[in-house]
Chains A and B, each alone.
Chain A
């Protein structure tokens, strides 16, 4: 009985959290549409979330693209299909690995820092101070971050896709004996516009999830340094899980037809 009660309690807690996060997302959307809009904070976040994430995105995707080429070559050799390396690297990076890797790296890098920053602001009464200075924390903190992520994470995903393909290209042409021109030609011929659009769409959704989770857990942080730590941990965990779940759903929506 106590096991069932525990499962029930955990399920209820999860549903309650999903409900609160949904409400938070709705509030964010309603604040996007109503002035004032803080351009300076928005521009800063474009830089923070986008530009400064480029090295991490580049490094993770180039290594993954290279490893993918090695695996496909070795796996393909079992049934004499080594030649598919360019096509599978392209589709694997663009449809799945590019957006997922970028999403997870953003969760690690951006969600955590947003949550820690906002939670610290809450603990040190800076959120209260914002309110008393007639500035809504949702407008000043959440909206710029979520909008910046919505715009910039698809771009990062595009960059990640390209660098991932480049990783595969380098490995295939330098160590596996592929012809450079033919590799690029195969990649370009095989990829469809819908593959690329689905990749960018996933990036946009993952970006919004990452920024929203950082803001939500930051603003709902408990008290003291422990509260900040717990909020940061919970935000990254929630962002990573939601990104992977959303990826599964989006893949189903885009490619099951």
Chain B
């Protein structure tokens, strides 16, 4: 469903993506792992057109992602940003139903609010959170609001950028289970970025490891532990010893 071919992106002399080849089939949950600063966020931002690659092609459903109707294209996606990226001038429910209150998917305010409250409940937040401002919420709650916003319009494709980073282990577990449930029940195609191995084991159908600007290893999550890729093994074990330099 999503296919990246030889995608490259540099910032000045910093060659972040050096030729990414990756295929995410329809309905699958792909998890991208890799160290911080290896270009994981840039990778999914390229698919959404938030970053323009220097070279390579990105196809969604066999069609070039950079061509055609942008609004129709983006309407198929939901995205959870690394820092939440909630609009701090709007109350929580208007964040969640942002897409439902303007543009092609616009519906009456009452209905948009009902959907927002329903999605908040789905991510384990009580209705009384709806009228608060994002700044009044804890980090874990903000992540869940971001999650609710990502799924608000029932998208076909969802991207999660580091959904558990900065959360305590219990909240991480809750978010991981939530993502897995949402993916299963919505039948969405998803890409999740993480360096949290417990997220990988809960969420992934397939795993891709990004290192040095290329996909170093990719395969089903079940083969991850038995694979004989030294980079992958070092990352999975969380070891300082191995081909990945610990000083970057």
Contact = CB atoms under 8 A, between A and B. Distances in A.
A135 B45 contact: no
Interface string B57-88: 00000000000001100110111011101111
Question: Contact size class for B?
Answer: 20 to 34
B85 A128 contact: yes
A90 B78 CA distance: 59
B103 interface: yes
B50 interface: yes
B85 A134 contact: no
A128 B50 contact: yes
A40 B94 CA distance: 13
Interface in B31-72: 45, 48-50, 70-71
B103 A36 contact: yes
A38 B99 CA distance: 13
A132 B104 contact: no
A135 B104 CA distance: 11
Contact of A131 (B50, B88, B149): B50
Interface string A34-49: 0010100000000000
A253 B79 CA distance: 51
Nearest to A44: B89
B82 A125 contact: yes
Contacts of B149: 133
Given A124-B83, A125-B82, A132 B103 contact: no
A126 B71 CA distance: 18
Given A128-B50, A134-B71, A134-B74, A36 B102 contact: yes
A133 B99 CA distance: 6
A134 to B, nearest CB: 5
A124 B82 CA distance: 9
B247 to A, nearest CB: 22
Nearest to B105: A134
Contacts of B85: 124-126, 128-129
A132 B48 contact: yes
Nearest to B104: A134
B98 interface: yes
A214 to B, nearest CB: 15
Contacts of A121: 87
Contacts of A131: 48-50, 74
A135 B87 CA distance: 13
Contacts of B86: 126, 129
B10 to A, nearest CB: 16
Contacts of A129: 79, 81, 85-87
Contacts of B78: 132
Given A132-B48, A132-B50, A126 B87 contact: yes
Contacts of B71: 134
Contacts of B45: 128
Nearest to A128: B50
Contacts of B103: 36, 134-135
A221 to B, nearest CB: 15
A8 to B, nearest CB: 22
Given A125-B81, A126-B85, A133 B98 contact: yes
Interface in A88-132: 121, 124-126, 128-132
Given A125-B82, A128-B81, A128-B85, A135 B48 contact: no
A74 to B, nearest CB: 50
Contacts of B82: 125
Contacts of A134: 70-71, 74-75, 99, 103-104
A121 B75 CA distance: 22
A38 B81 contact: no
A38 B102 CA distance: 9
A126 B75 CA distance: 17
A132 B77 contact: yes
Interface of A: 36, 38, 121, 124-126, 128-135
Interface of B: 45, 48-50, 70-71, 74-75, 77-79, 81-83, 85-88, 98-99, 102-104, 149
- Lowest 8 A-B CB distances belong to which pairs? A125-B85, A129-B85, A125-B81, A132-B79, A133-B99, A134-B74, A134-B71, A128-B50
17 contacts: A36-B102, A124-B83, A124-B85, A125-B81, A125-B82, A126-B86, A126-B87, A126-B88, A129-B85, A129-B87, A131-B50, A132-B74, A132-B77, A134-B75, A134-B99, A134-B104, A135-B103
Given A126-B86, A126-B87, A134-B70, 11 more contacts: A128-B50, A128-B85, A129-B81, A129-B85, A129-B87, A130-B87, A131-B50, A132-B79, A134-B71, A134-B74, A134-B104
